[in-house]
Amino acid sequence: MIKSSLPPIISKQVLEDGVEWQLRIDAELPYFNGHFPEQAVLPGVTQLDWAVQLGAAEFGYRPEVQTLEVLKFQQLILPGSQVRLKISLNRAKHKLTFAYYQDDQRYGSGRICLAPMQSNQEAC
């Protein structure tokens, strides 16, 4: 992964089925530079990296991606916006499910299979 720095985190809430962060997507984030000249948008690879970093840290995994599943980017995340990132874990399968959204607007989602915490555990 690219190990991008995380955006400002406004809040974090632990839910029954996962964790949710409110993120501030400042226009000054370096990921907007050159992506794209006509309208800056947050790259999908950055969104994916943030989900990996936050999910792995929250649930005690190494941020090592094995596979990606059902990855979708439905709407553009623009500079100056606020979004929610919800991540839940299927520990038996080492899979994080993530979704970026705000109110009824869904920006991106997918499943990330992480490397098992111990080498003797079965991978995805």
Q: What region does 94 belong to: left with phi over 0, alpha with psi -120 to 50, or beta?
A: left
Average pLDDT across the chain, whole number: 91
Phi/psi for 53 (5° steps) reads: -60, -50
Q: What are phi and psi of 4, to 5 degrees?
A: -75, 155
Could you give the residue ranges of the DSSP H alpha helices within 1-124? Answer: 44-59
* Parallel, antiparallel or unpaired: strands 18-25 and 81-90: antiparallel
Phi, psi of 87 (to 5 degrees): -130, 130
Residue 123 structure tokens = 């991978």
Residue with tokens 């790259």: 43
pLDDT tens-digit readout, 52-71 = 999 999 999 989 999 999 99
What is the pTM for the complete model shown?
0.90
pLDDT per position in the chain (124 positions), as tens?
A: 557 799 999 999 999 999 999 999 999 888 887 767 788 999 999 999 999 999 999 999 989 999 999 999 999 999 999 999 999 999 999 999 999 999 999 999 999 999 877 666 666 7
Closest CA to 51 of 23, 13, 93: 23
